[in-house]
Chains A and B, each alone.
Chain A
Amino acid sequence: MSKMSRREFLKKIGVIGVFVAFNNVASNMRRVATPLIKKGIGTVYPRAVKGASFGMMIDVGACIGCRRCQHACNLENNTPDEPSNMHWIDVFEMESRRPVSEVENIPPVGASLDYTDAPSPDHWYMSFNCFHCDNPPCTKVCPTGATYKDEDGLVLVNYDICIGCRYCMAACPYNARRFNWWEPQHPSSRTNPIDGSAVALNEDVPLRPRGVTEKCTFCVHRVRNGGVPKCVEVCPVRARHFGDFNDPDSEVSKLLKTVRTMRIRENLGTYPKLYYFTRGVKWTEDGEKH
């Protein structure tokens, strides 16, 4: 120890340090980080529509609880099968005598996710997916900026830089987010539950790796190219409406002016862009619409 002078010792340490830093740490970090930085955001979505504010309105009075939206969404967005068994849309069966205020809790008190032959008497249905809040609590807490609100109001996840801490899921008041607990299973072709035909994976939607969060994107690949989300398209009773709230001529803007609406847990100041409304139609015990 004493044979080496302090200066010499420091010099050696310094040389080793510089060597290690440049050849290992930095190059490794750069190798991993460069593709991310080049791509900008990692997961590539179509370019945001300038000046838009996309949102959805759901007619709970019209909804018959058939879950077609859920199945169509699963196929459209390549959500993993067993064991993840993930779906971005939850349709809760509500007892008709429960007050709407109990919807304030997510999932609603006493509601059931079990599939029944819908519509079943004395029940009504409440469909939940990501509300794409105007003031989203989930994007604020993200430590890497993997989840963000885009210019057109869509709250998206960059699957390439998500570290899987699940802080966004803790922050979300609506249980809208899903986590890839297992390696996602995507069979090359799946069966359409409605007509039994084979369905291939949708190539417009990126597959998610294990260990990241995901959620409803309002079918970003469709709506940014002028379409509507798959769930809106397949709804047999037109309970779901989609459009641009900033466009006064859009369907949802007109609806918002003419029907009475509510949003879930407005007291949290999240300003969800998913409104629930009903035109006073309700399924009753004899299964008739009144």
Chain B
Amino acid sequence: MSDTEKILRPIKHTSKEFYPFVASLAFISLIAVYAYSRQLSLGLGVTGLNDVTIWGIYIANFIFFIGISHAGIAISAAVRILKAHRYQPIARIAELLTIVSLVMAGLSIVIDLGRPDRAFLLIVKFVERFRYSPLIWDITAVATYLILSSTYLYLPMRRDIKLAMEHTSGWRSQMLGYLIPFYEEGEEATIDRLSFWLAVTILPVMVMVHTTVAWIFSLLSSRPLWFNAFAGPYYIVAAVASGIASVMVLAAVMRKLYHWEDIIRPDLFRGLSNFTAVTVLVYLYMMMAEQLAALFAGPAGEMFVSEEWLFGSFAALFWLMTTLGLVIPFLYMLIQAFKKDYVNITWTAVMSLILVVAFWFKRYMIIVPTLSIGVQEVGIYSPTWVEIVILLGSFALPLLLYSVLTKVVPLIEMEEAHHE
């Protein structure tokens, strides 16, 4: 089987296991939709949120998915700008992840709104409020990022869809044809130029997206551990680490499922895992710096939150997240980096998955303790079933979208195949 055949396999053939998998994802998403309809009809009171802990799982989800969305463009822009062609095979896997997670991040914000029916006011009042509200900056950045990255995903994909059209027949070919209106022979050169400059444009936007997410929190001077000048870089490091870790998980799974062992080579995982190890190390260092400032200097608010994190009611979560979730995967990746030409893809994927989960809990830790600390019983937040179900759904829905997309678009740029 040629590489092209292999790459197009998911589009042409669908295994029996695919349907129950997609059906269960759809089922979970539907339950989440039901939970959200409860929230819509009864009010946000069905969540565990209260006047003190005003944000919870939904906002943690928002930061998390914005974070995941970073890896896609980071990888493929590196491919295009730094000419790191080694990573070409996973570029599109990562880009698709960017799109679905950005969509989920946007949804998380809407789910969190008390009046989603009035969300259009964000556009009506845009010009008036742009000078003031960091939330508006963030919505602008996310929207820009979504538009740019979906363009960036789509343009170079046209030639692959064309190629897929040629390799398929009947309705499949016809459906693929609808995806590329106005296709012209020889448009590739133009698209290559366009994509390069798009990549150059997207990189600063990518930095801005997560910086503005950080600013939503870090510009509130009264909130301990949010109010932080290095929040931007701090959030970006977490975003890149969790994003690349989730790309590794996806790439490992698809490599196995679609028998892409020759296309997605082990040295690629090695490179990604080394990079992730570095970012996790930087993140641990930043966390330590943050905690030291809070504990040693000890402004009342910061000290309360920090003590709650390290020794208080969030201690179990914090230490589990730090040791099991960050340090152990880091150590594994570090040891792997020192072994010459060695990489265990299964273990790398498992460690990456642990990292992703740990980073979700880190986002939860960012939101909840700062809001609920130093407060009596009234302020204590424990998520309700509605939130848990919506949380599950917010993982099922992007996965579902992703699974469907694997059946529609070629997941790997077929450049090499093209030149054969």
Contacts and interface: CB of A to CB of B under 8 A. Distances in A.
A9 B124 CA distance: 32
Interface residues of A, number: 49
Interface stretch (A49-57, A159-167, A199-207, A245-253): A159-167
Contact of B114 (A1, A164, A173): A164
A6 B182 contact: yes
B42 A182 contact: yes
B299 to A, nearest CB: 10
Interface secondary structure of A, over-half rule = loop
B220 A33 contact: no
B115 A137 contact: no
A182 B43 contact: yes
Contacts of A144: 118, 121-122, 124-125, 129
B54 interface: yes
Interface in A232-288: 265, 268-269
B374 interface: yes
Given A33-B124, A112-B376, A164-B113, A170 B371 contact: yes
Interface string A1-45: 100001001000000000000000000010011000000000000
B220 A171 contact: yes
A183 B41 CA distance: 9
Nearest to A9: B181
A111 B114 CA distance: 30
A6 B136 CA distance: 38
Given A172-B222, A181-B50, A142 B133 contact: yes
B374 A83 contact: no
Interface stretch (A101-109, A119-127, A186-194): A101-109
B223 interface: yes
B125 A145 contact: yes
A183 B49 CA distance: 15
B120 A29 contact: yes
B155 to A, nearest CB: 18
A211 interface: yes
Given A109-B374, A161-B118, A268 B112 contact: no
A34 to B, nearest CB: 11
A163 B374 contact: no
A171 B119 CA distance: 20
B223 A163 contact: no
A183 B39 CA distance: 11
B54 A179 contact: yes
Given A144-B124, A175-B51, A209-B115, 8 more contacts: A9-B181, A105-B300, A140-B132, A142-B133, A143-B136, A170-B371, A210-B43, A211-B115
Interface of A: 1, 6, 9, 29, 32-33, 83-84, 104-105, 107, 109, 112-113, 137, 140-145, 161-167, 169-173, 175, 177-183, 209-213, 265, 268-269
